[in-house]
Each structure stands twice: as structure tokens, then as C-alpha cells.
Amino acid sequence: MIRLENVSYTYYDKISALSDVTLEINKGDKVAIIGANGSGKSTLLQIMAGLKYPVAGRFLFEETGVSEESLRDKGFLRFFRENVGYVFQDSDIQLFCPTVLDELLYGPLQLEINEEEAMNRAFELMKMLNIEHLKARPSYMLSGGEKKKVAIGSVLAMNPQILLLDEPTDGLDPKTQCFLVELMLALNESGKTLVIATHDLSLVDELQATVGVLSEEHRLEKIGSADDILRDTDLLLKVNLIHEHVHLHGKTKHTHLHSHYLFHRHSS
Amino acid sequence: MPNKIPSFLLDPSPPGSFKLGRRKVNIPFIDGGINHLTSVIKKGYVQWELSSENGLFQKIDARIKVLFLLFFVIIVSLKRGLLPELYIGVFVFVLVLLSRLRIVTFYSRVLLLGFFLGFLVALPSAFNVITSGETIGPVVRISRPLNFWIYHIPADIGITREGIYGVTRLTLRVVNSLSLSFLVLYTTPFPEIVRALKVLKVPDTFLIIITLCYKYIFIFSKTVEDMYLAKKSRMAREVSNTEAREWIAGRIGFIFRKTRLRCEDVFKAMIGRGFSDTIKLYGFRKMRTSDWYAGTFLLFIGVLFLLI
């Protein structure tokens, strides 16, 4: 479905964000791209969403090269946007319609789905996301969790087959995080392809996704199952996803490897 | 959870198909313009932030550079001949070369702004309607001369030699002033410029305003670009210019609200870190001998230009 061949990207012709990344994602896959801050996760997702274009290498969707030129083709633009949905890390940016209901209707109306069907989709989604009471509210009057729900709803309303989610659980309370994990698993079970960018190792474990690890040099260091990657402490140390941690237990000082979820093992 | 998922999302239908054809999406002028504007602002900002440390001008103290800029802009405004303006232009070009700035990018910006702010603004004065003199390029002939208020419109309207001279002089002045300003801006980190202005007794309120504006320009262009990408990610068809204008009108309101909220947050953060009403800056490094040499050399060149 998605193929990246030796993709590189630089910002302002100076700052490297991705270097020689090759990756293939098939229908129904559940993929997590993990890496430290600034490793290029968001850039990679934005390339897969056809929002940025590689400065080197190729990005193919259903064997068609995705470029500024190909996305100017009416047929391909519709086909691509119908199938690929992207949820931004910053929901504030993503929500640009006057109210929550307008937000949910925007995508389906772009796809020229009739108004009745678009309304049905919007209300079904609001029910699923428990945001029915917010339908007339403007986005700037929503909490962080509500904004995230609306942002996800606005993309789901287009019913894309591939969902790209940038740091989906970032800054959310535990209850909303649980809700999102359940939602992502359910969507994947229903056949949707999920690609998530995150540095939250607990999310990777919960989703049991195929994991691609981006290094701080912006290279794809390794691809493997969640178990394989999460057990590879050398790799996680190298890419700065776990670190040496010192703390006290009573009067005993411990030093050990630590991530904020997985590695909190004591040798004594 | 699966029970709550709407049926349309569970539809396992395979993705549709498409044919690459000749039907192209026209990108509205406003969309393209916004995208281009934000990228220009961001590129400029980053180029400034990352200004190389190895060039000639980057090594000179910011105070010397600010004084150089003021002195030379005055000289540029005082010179009445074309040749001295050209000499100053060549001198700035040499400084740009020695400072290892990207010549093409640098002069494309200078010349573009110079064209609009200098040439186009001054162009009407090339005609004998405004500047009288020897007509060297007749344009229009009217039946009889007209007198209107303080203006005299001759029967033969055309471009005069004196007018062309005036337009060229003004364009050169604008280009020289712009290249001097860009030279200093591109070779000096922004905080150093602000500190240099503080030394020149520029009021604190003004410094606060330009510091905040400087940061906000970048945040603003990033916000606009992100919003454009958010729209693009859900844009599956061609958008008319009317729709694009409507979207932009809505976004202006959004940015206004966001700006107000950010302004309040920034002010709270400043208050929270002990801001009263004055900017307190840590001391400048001591001027080095090389700074004095550079200052003296620039002063000497400036006086030379004044004399020719």
C-alpha cells in the first residue's frame, strides 16, 4: 500500500530530518514509528500523508508515485485523500471550522458525499467519541482531550483506509489515552491500516505494533515486532528512548536503565 | 468498543481506483501565495539564526555594525550623483562577498524589494508631468496642454532625461539602503542587534515590541503553514478562489483569537519571571582590537564616500 524508497528530507535546505529511509506498509498493518524528539517521526508521517515531498528518494502509494505533480491530478488527489487520513500532533492547528459539527462535515463534503450521509457520519462519530454535547461549540472552547477527539473524528469522517496518527496520546489524561488505544485497536481489527508516530513505549506495547525505530541521525535503525524492539535495550539506549536513571529507595541509591514505562528493573 | 464503532467505518470495501489523466487541479492563487510567503519568512528567519560565524562581518561587534548601518544610510541619502551611489553599491557587494553570504539569495531579495519600493514608486516622476526637462521618450500626445491645480500637463507627455536620472538615483539609494540593512541583519544574531540598540539609548518599550514581533513573525508563519497543511490533508478536490477566500477570512479570525491568547500567556510568563518595565541585559563583551580596526576602516571609507 505504502512504499518509501530511500527517502530523505531536509528543512530549509540545511536541517536534515530524514535520511535514506526505506519502509513498506501493507493493508491492515499496525506500525509504530518511534524515536526521540527531533528524530523525524512527524516529517515521515507528513510525507506519507502527501503534505511534504521527499528531497530524495520516492514515496509510492498503491504503486503510484506521490509528488506535488501527481497530487495535482484530480483523480489521484481524490483517491489518495479518500484513503489516507492524517491526525496532526497539535489538534489546535487541525481544527479550522467554526464548530465541531462543521469540522466533522468538512471532509465528507469535500469527498462530495451527500449531505444526509455526511450528517449521519458526523452524528455516529460524535456518539462514538462521546462529544455529542459539543457539536455547536467552537474548537477554541474545547479541552485538550476534546480537541484530540474532534481531530480524530474529523479524519475518521472521511473513512480513510490508512490512518496516520502523530503522537496520538500526547498530553492526554489516562482515561482519554485508554479510550484512544481501544479505538485504534478496534479500527485496526476492522481492517484499517494504522501508522503511529510516538515516543511512548507503553503505547507501542499496548498496540503490539510492528515498530520502526528512527535514530537521532534520522535513519531507520531497525524494524521489528514490538517485543523484539522493546527488549533491545542497546538499541533503545542508542536512540535515546531509554536512559540511565538514578533514584533513592529509602537510603539506598539505585542506578538503572529507565524509560517512563517499560524498563524499571533493579539489579538488587 | 467495537460495538460503538459506526458501521461506515467497518466497511471493508477495498480502496477505489483512479486513472492518472490530464485533469489537473488548479491551485488557488491565495493558497499558493500563503504557502510561499510563510516559507520565505521561515527561510529568512532560519538563515538569520544560523548565520555563519566565519565571514568578515560576522566577526565584528554588533555596536560597530549598527553604527556603520546608520552612518552609511545617511551617506547614501546625502549623495546626489549616480557614480558615488554605484561605488557604495560595489563596496557593499564586496562586504557581502567577504561575509560569505549567499549572493544570489541576498541580491534577489534586495533587488525585488528595490524594484517595488524604489523603481515603481519613483517611476511616475520620470514623466514630464512631474519632472520637467528634455523629453527623450514621448509616450502620449494630447490635443492641448492642461493646467490642473499645481500641475501642468503638456501636450506631449513623455519621459524626460532629468526624470530618468531622478528615478535611477532613488532606485540606487533604495537598493543600497536595503543591501546595507540586509548585510547587517544577515550577519548579526537578533539578540545582539537588540542589545546594540539598547546601547544607542533606544527606549525599552520599543525594544520589547520589536523582540516580541520578531518571535511572533516566526510563530505566526508556522501557524499559517500548519493550518494550510491541515486543510490540504482533507482537501480531496479543486477549490475555487471564492472558497479559498472564505477559508482565509475564517482563519484570520482564528489567528486573531490565538494571537490574543498567546499575547496574554507571554505577558504572564514575563511577569512570572520578574519582568517590571525595563529590559535588563547582561553586559557586552569588551571591544576587541579587531573591532576598533574594523570600525576605523569603515569610518574612513564612509568619510571618503562623503568627500567624492
A125 touches B6 (CB < 8 A): yes
pLDDT band at A268 (very low <50, low <70, confident <90, very high): very low
Q: Which pLDDT does position B30 carry in this prediction?
A: 67
Residue type, B279: I
Q: What is the pTM of this model?
A: 0.74
Phi, psi of A161 (to 5 degrees): -80, -25
The minimum CA-CA distance between B111 and chain A, rounded to whole Å, is 22
Of B15, B47, B50, Cβ closest to residue A62? B15
Q: Which pLDDT does position B84 carry in this prediction?
A: 92
What residue of B is the nearest CA neighbor of A184?
A: B1
**Of B16-20, B94-98, B212-216, which gets the smallest average pLDDT?**
B16-20
Of B1, B11, B16, Cβ closest to residue A182? B1
Contact B229 A46 (CB under 8 A): yes
The ipTM estimated for the assembled molecules is 0.76
pLDDT in tens, A149-178: 999 999 999 999 999 999 998 878 888 888
Contact B43 A191 (CB under 8 A): no
Select the more confidently predicted residue: B12 or A55.
A55
C-alpha B292/C-alpha B68 separation (Å) is 12
Contacts of residue A182 in chain B, CB cutoff 8 Å?
Answer: 1
Contact A186 B230 (CB under 8 A): no
Phi, psi of B33 (to 5 degrees): -60, -45
- Tally Cβ neighbours within 10 Å of residue A59: 23
Domain boundaries, chain B: 55-188+285-308
Grid cell, residue B19, equals 486513472
- CA-atom Rg of chain A in angstroms: 20
Q: Which pLDDT does position A145 carry in this prediction?
A: 87
Q: Which pLDDT does position B59 carry in this prediction?
A: 87
Contact A72 B251 (CB under 8 A): no
Selected residue of A12, A109, A154, A175 to mutate for chain B interface (largest B Cβ count, 10 A): A12
A223 touches A23 (CB < 8 A): yes
| Superfamily of A2-258 according to CATH | P-loop containing nucleotide triphosphate hydrolases (3.40.50.300)
Percentage of the residues of chain B whose pLDDT score is greater than 70: 85
Of B19, B27, B257, Cβ closest to residue A75? B19
pLDDT in tens, B217-273: 777 777 788 888 888 888 877 777 777 777 777 778 777 877 787 778 877 887 788
C-alpha A263/C-alpha B31 separation (Å) is 47
Q: Specify which of A49-58, A226-235, B27-36, B192-201 reaches the highest per-range mean pLDDT.
A: A49-58
**pLDDT > 70? residue B52:** no
pLDDT in tens, A15-37: 899 999 999 999 999 999 999 88
Nearest to B298 by CA among B107, B95, B68, B139: B68
The minimum CA-CA distance between B208 and chain A, rounded to whole Å, is 27
Kindly give, in sequence order, each residue whose CB lies less than 8 Å from that of residue B241, ignoring residues fewer than 6 positions away: B28, B29, B30
Contact A77 B46 (CB under 8 A): no
C-alpha B239/C-alpha A77 separation (Å) is 12
A209 touches A34 (CB < 8 A): no
C-alpha A59/C-alpha A65 separation (Å) is 6
pLDDT, mean over chain A: 87
Chains A–B, number of C-beta pairs less than 8 Å apart: 136
Domain boundaries, chain A: 2-258
Grid cell, residue B289, equals 582590537
**pLDDT > 90? residue B151:** no
Contacts of residue A78 in chain B, CB cutoff 8 Å?
Answer: 18, 236-237
Contacts of residue A48 in chain B, CB cutoff 8 Å?
Answer: none
pLDDT in tens, B223-236: 788 888 888 888 87
A229 touches A213 (CB < 8 A): yes
pLDDT in tens, A101-112: 999 998 888 888
